[in-house]
Chains A and B, each alone.
Chain A
Amino acid sequence: MKVNRKKIEVFEGALVRHALLRYFALKGLDVSMVDHLTVFDSRGHEIDLDAPASQHEQIKFKIPRTI
């Protein structure tokens, strides 16, 4: 799947949370921030972190202004 246009490999049965954790780890970002993200599918609908990754080919996230 793609996170903010970057292709991310995840294990079978992974959740959106795991794709974001991997994205953050690859980018050298603080993985603890993942729990605070607002995530959207390719059509701009909000989805939650526990959504099955297999249901979403592309996601985007926003970091809230206050964490």
Chain B
Amino acid sequence: MKKILLASLLMLVVLTISAQERRELHILSTNDMHAAIEQFPRLGFVADSLRALYPDLLILSAGDNRSGDPINDMFDIPAYPMVALMNQVGFHATVVGNHEFDSNQYGLAKLIGLSAFSTLCANMEPDPKFKMHIKPYQIFDCGGISVGVLGITALSSLGTPESHPARMTDIKFMDPMETIQKYSFLRKQCDVVLLLSHLGYKDDVKFSAELPWIDIIVGGHSHTQLDGGEIHNGILITQNMKSLPYATHSTLVLEGNKIVEKKAERIAVAGRSEVNNTLAALVQYFSENPAFKRVLAVAETPFVCKEELGCLMCDAYIGETGADFSYQNAGGVRIESHPAGDITVCDVMKMDPFQNAAVELNVTGKELSDMLISCYDNDNQRFPYVSGMTCEITLNPVDGTIKKLVLLDKNGKKLNMKKTYRVVSNSYSVAVSPSKRADEGHSLGITTPDIIKNYLEHQGHVSYEGRRCLKFVSK
């Protein structure tokens, strides 16, 4: 009888210990927020709610926190609003996405210095002169569960993240997979190993086959909407589309040191009615961005039509990039006129609100001519504005198609149709000009409003009175 009692007691003790050893790790993750600051009051509410249930909630971002809203990106300290909002939500760490380089090495270093969360990236080594406080990984203690978070970012075929090369000089980048494997020691040191990845869904899945020592990949970069998460090769992979339509709540259940369950659910952020009021007040504060009122240049004469404004935009593309010619779709000039006097950041945002990237192409005169015609056809038969040349356009009176197009250089000479020229335009115009050409071009890693802003600041004073770049010939 005594033996039975002892055995029962022993069983009870074992069961109690087992029950105590069942632990849960909860993670709230985001990716590719792209400066969606308007979603932060709602994201804050989601974070508060989960934290109330799970006090040791780990909050992570898989990169590309910035670039997408001028309120954030054109703040006095570019992209500081997102950092302040992420601090307030209580983020623990982010990985470096390719867009984190959008305000160059020093801009990124400054933002990291202002962050209350860690910035992780194992496959980059910035020169010490930047004082960029990036760690390859960090081990977080989440209520007794040790979680090793390793950051990794994608590299393009050039061996650097997709951004302007000048913004990444004196930063060494290493192969993602080779780098990740160097940190396999985290398996022994941690209960849970998490890869905070800005590699994209395709590589997350591909890499999962070779990383049996990793438990979960919190991913970003490809803007892939998963239904919570997916298990590939035993690894839970998560990701959402950009700008916070959802965040992901992942749960990992441990018994002793063994993970016995992994699951993830997506939580709607956009469209919620509940908000965190402190974050709402912060967003309101940032929305009244004084940087928007900054004067960039003085217009000595008023801009009386779109063509004059279009000429200014095209001059900016040439002036800031050194291209031979530039063009801008007419539909992309969003104001009709501008009075003489100050031109502010806000004016530029109204003139060119789309955050298009500047694209450079090397094309022949013939290819350029075909692109302009193609742009006209796809922009509701509005001929694009140009700089570095003028265009003589003859229209077919019946259907409005272009019958003849003559491109003239600054001296009034016809462009050599066989010669190759450097042309800059915005990404929209290039995309809607699908004519045949040898060079598809490449993004310059800078937005066109940024180019216009820089150009106006460099000019100080501008006058476009009577300036025309298009001549319609009637026959």
Interface positions of A (Cβ within 8 A of B): 9-19, 21-22, 24-26, 31, 41, 45-48, 50-52, 54-56
Docked-complex contact A11 and B162, CB < 8 angstroms:
no
- Residues of B358-391 whose CB lies within 8 A of A: 359, 361, 374, 377-379
Known A48-B223, A52-B162: A12·B431 in contact at CB below 8 Å? no
Known A18-B427, A52-B222, A56-B222: A10·B34 in contact at CB below 8 Å? no
Known A45-B201, A45-B224: A54·B156 in contact at CB below 8 Å? yes
Chain B, interface size: which category?
A: 35 or more
Q: Closest 10 A-B residue pairs measured CB to CB? A: A13-B443, A51-B223, A12-B442, A21-B431, A55-B222, A11-B441, A18-B431, A46-B225, A48-B241, A25-B378
Docked-complex contact B443 and A12, CB < 8 angstroms:
yes
Docked-complex contact A47 and B224, CB < 8 angstroms:
yes
Docked-complex contact A11 and B442, CB < 8 angstroms:
yes
Docked-complex contact B241 and A47, CB < 8 angstroms:
yes
Set B221, B359, B431: member contacting A22, Cβ < 8 A: B431
A22 to B430, CA, bound (A): 8
Pick 20 A–B contacts, CB within 8 A, sort by A. A11-B430, A11-B440, A12-B442, A13-B359, A13-B445, A17-B431, A18-B430, A19-B431, A24-B378, A25-B432, A31-B379, A48-B223, A50-B242, A51-B224, A51-B241, A52-B200, A52-B222, A52-B223, A55-B222, A56-B222
Does B248 make an interface contact (CB < 8 A)?
Answer: no
Contacts of A26 in B (CB 8 A): 434
The tally of CB-CB contacts under 8 A between chains A and B is 93
A55 to B219, CA, bound (A): 13
Contacts of B304 in A (CB 8 A): none
Docked-complex contact A13 and B442, CB < 8 angstroms:
yes
Known A11-B361, A55-B202: A25·B434 in contact at CB below 8 Å? yes
Does B75 make an interface contact (CB < 8 A)?
Answer: no
Set B359, B374, B432, B440: member contacting A9, Cβ < 8 A: B440
